[in-house]
Structure 1
């Protein structure tokens, strides 16, 4: 008998009705490989799925934005109606997704009123109170830049049908009242996670769903990949939303959490084991000091 998915992570288009409405899209940076529909889901989906699977949870990713782009006849509502997870998760990481994420989350709650709806991402973290207070179809917001641990605890509470009173980083609703749990889960390193493209390939086979896992439109033709040196930053660049000040104020991160250079190298080699693709190292390899960079390059 097929096991019930504990969590289905859904990535929405920037605007849900983009196939019907006339939209004037603004410019996007050349470093963003997706279209203005922002069909690229956060790489955190990948690390979150891998981490939760190691903890014994069944997780699926569905890139609804990609499905809508690839197939003009694709019916998102029909897909969501036939799903049956213990919880739905939606990313609101980048602000362009606010309309699309809210629209699909409302749809999921309408079709599955007893199934919890979760939000996460940096924009969700910033607007966590607004989301819980003003959108009754959102049950939980997972705050911070590292949600793996709290998500595992929250899924365990959902399995047990218990309130998440002791789950860190969660904003939620109890008897109509908003509860804001302390943002106390702030790992000092990134060594507990992995960017494992092999994990994603196994998921594609398991669910027989290539499109649902492809990160952006032309990825199969040019499969750009990425690994991360850290979460957080040491600097306060005026044009960056991920500054040291921003992470300290909204994610309670006082200093960057670096991934050990040896593990970062393993991430790179793991990509090369599965894909003939360029690997972008996101983050200055010398931000943690000369020794970090030299260890990575040695």
Structure 2
């Protein structure tokens, strides 16, 4: 079974000719930074190997790519799962031959991606030894030392939040400056020694309000991502795009809406908890984007064809004035969309009423997952 898994990962991410033509084909160009998302190409539950998952991009990848573009650097995003959907013979090695990049940044946010990300990084470094291989995301941040110790083909890892660190790193590497000691949050190699720069960058509300989370055109084959990759996040390899959307999604094009960052709670099962964030990113409290910026994101997402906004940010369930005000603004702007909202606690009646007034259709709903250690309450 292990060998089969190896072959499948290689087949789906590395082997075969690059697809040519097509309206959304990325023209050959030199890139300052190519960001790559590697989903988990295999599953270990029956039927074995039938599904691709971790298909949603971490929400910050669009913001990172757009930030680089805003500062005059060329940047694109490639989702290896989307490329396999469009062409089973897609080859990231050939793609990089035609689209030379100074930095390849691989997202290792969810631990399920680990094997695939490491194999892709190794293959790229083997074929392009001078290319700078960078990892980021929660899992990469937590295991930054172990990854650099075990995998010499990884050049650096950005720990925690990445906007300013990535910007400074790309700036230095474009100038052929390999002295990276002033790049915040970076673990890297200098003359074979692993260096750990200070974890000093944590985004403020002012910082995240400068970010654009909806420059979706920076993703290669973004139409496929918008139109067919939906909730609940899995992709059956034997189905067509249309069958996947019809049978394995909620039937609505769903956009993960960025509301803010951080969490005050410490759920034992969540690596995004307050304890984890304090350790991994040094974030000590949640921050919110402005209502204006969130409204702009909703409008842009709808412009791409999205229909439903998906929100998983509810840091203070007992104090929900922010969302009551946001919902009122959506109504004032006469924005027509649906919303799925994952509640971190029991929502207040005021919140429920405001949500229903704003999103009255059955396609919009609240997700509640009450947990308790009491057997009596569990049986209610």
Which residue of structure 1 aligns with residue 34 of structure 2? 8
Q: How does 1:203-242 map to 2 (within 5 A)?
A: 203=218, 209-210=220-221, 214=225, 218-219=229-230, 222-242=252-272
Q: Which one of the candidate residues 147, 150, 154 is aligned to 1:131?
A: 147
Partner of 1:243: 273
Q: Which residues in structure 2 correspond to 1:104-183 (within 5 Å)?
A: 104-144=120-160, 146-162=161-177, 163-183=179-199
How far has the Cα of 1:79 moved from its partner?
Answer: 2.9
Which residue does the alignment assign to 1:195? 213
SS at match of 1:153: helix
CA contact (8 A) 1:188 1:258 kept: no
**Cross-structure match for 1:31:** none
Q: Distance in 1 between matches of 2:129 and 2:318?
A: 46
Distance 1:251 1:155 in 2: 21
Distance in structure 1 (CA, Å) of the matches to 2:134 and 2:68: 15
Question: What's 2:234 paired with?
Answer: none
Q: Offset of 1:55 from its aligned partner?
A: 1.2
Deviations 1:63-120 (A, max 9, x none): 1122224433333443344431011110100011111000110111111111100000
Supply the distance in 2 between the matched residues of 1:212 and 1:104 (Cα, whole angstroms).
24
Q: Which residue of 2 aligns with 1:253?
A: 283
SS in 1 for 2:277: helix
Aligned-partner SS, 1:60: strand
Relative distance call for 1:152 and 1:288 in structure 2 (3 A) is farther
Counterpart residue number, 2:296: 266
Question: What's the TM-score, normalizing by structure 1?
Answer: 0.84
Go from structure 1 to structure 2 and tell me whether the alpha carbon gap of 1:68 and 1:107 turns closer, same or farther (over 3 Å shift).
same
DSSP-derived class of the 1:151 partner: helix
Over 3 Å counting, the alpha-carbon distance change for 1:276 and 1:159 in structure 2 is closer
CA distance in 1 between partners of 2:96 and 2:224 (Å):
16
State the secondary structure of the residue aligned to 1:86. strand
Unpaired runs of 5+ residues, structure 2, are: 1-26, 231-240, 246-251, 329-380
1:198-247 deviation digits (Å, cap 9, x = unpaired): x223x36xxxx416972695458542112122211011122211101110
Q: Is the 8 A contact 2:103 2:131 kept in 1?
A: yes
Asked if 2 retains the 8 angstrom alpha-carbon contact of 1:261 and 1:293, the reply is no
- Tell me if the contact between 1:140 and 1:172 (Cα under 8 Å) persists in the aligned partners: yes
Query: Does 1 or 2 have the higher relative contact order (CA < 8 Å, sep 6+)?
Result: 1
Which consecutive residues of structure 1, in runs of 5 or more, have no partner in the other structure? 28-34
Residues 95 and 161 from structure 1, CA distance in 2 versus in 1: closer, same or farther, beyond 3 angstroms?
A: same
- How far apart in 2 are the matches of 1:75 and 1:249? 37
Would the alpha carbon gap of residues 126 and 110 (structure 1) be closer, same or farther in structure 2, given more than 3 Å must change? Answer: same
- TM-score of the pair, normalised by structure 2: 0.67
- Cα deviation for residue 286 of structure 1 reads 5.1
**Bigger radius of gyration among the two:** 2
Post-superposition shift, 1:182? Answer: 0.6
Q: Secondary structure at the match of 2:184?
A: coil
Give, in whole Å, the separation in 2 of the partners of 1:151 and 1:101: 19
Deviation at 1:3, TM superposition (A): 5.4
8 Å contact from structure 2 (residues 36, 105) kept in 1: yes
Q: Does the aligned pair in 2 maintain the 1:234–1:287 contact within 8 Å?
A: no
Q: Is 1:67 the equivalent of 2:83?
A: yes
Shift of 1:277: 1.2
CA offsets, 1:139-176, max 9 Å, x none? 110110x2111100000010112121101000000000
For the aligned residues, what is the CA RMSD?
2.7
